Amino acid sequence: MGRKIRLTKEFRFEMAHALWKYDGLCKHFHGHSYILRVTVMGEPIEDKKSPKYGMVMDFGLLKQIVHEEVVDRMDHALVLNNDSEHQALLSLPEMGERVILTQYQPTCENMLLEMAERIKPRLPKGVLLHSLRLNETANSFAEWYAEDNK
């Protein structure tokens, strides 16, 4: 009998970005209240002596990993494509602290690809990243599935 279980934890962060050379309003600086849902999959620990007995992984550890790899870096950051003409902004030191320059266009899709690569290696042995869902607005979101990326 299968014992696989999925766990999901939700995170929220505020982030500004601009889509360089985009043919619409999103080429301008603007912000979103992002919602990230992280789903992992594994089997509950059977060792009764383990403090994590009965858990696939501790929700607290998942929270720590996602905070370190995603939320603490991106919350209240301005994320810009490195190809954009951002030099003027970065000349203000107090502005530059939370500016993240990406090698990619900071769309929902590309942010998810980076998040997946950051989170995957941090998970405990036997626990897999199943999927990510990133809401950019209340009615727009993108999803990453391990199954789609084998």
Ligand X SMILES: Nc1nc2c(c(=O)[nH]1)N=C([C@H](O)[C@H](O)COP(=O)(O)OP(=O)(O)OP(=O)(O)O)CN2
Which helix or strand (DSSP H or E) is residue 109 part of? helix 108-119
Q: Considering only residues 7, 15, 19, 129, which one is a binding residue for ligand X as defined by CB under 6 A?
A: 19
Total residues contacting Zn ion by CB under 5 A comes to 1
From the list 10, 43, 76, 109, the catalytic residue is 76
How does DSSP classify residue 67? I
Find the shortest distance in angstroms from Cβ 143 to ligand X: 12
From the list 69, 108, 130, 136, the catalytic residue is 136
A 10 A CB-CB count for 70 gives: 22
Contact positions with ligand X (CB under 6 A) in 116-135: none
Would you state the torsion angle of the CA atoms of residues 84, 115, 38, 122, taken in this order, to the nearest 10 degrees?
-160
Q: Which residues are annotated as a binding site?
A: 17, 30, 32
- Joined tokens for residue 15: 């982030």
Is 28 or 49 the residue whose CB approaches ligand X more closely? Answer: 28
Residues that bind Zn ion (CB under 5 A): 26
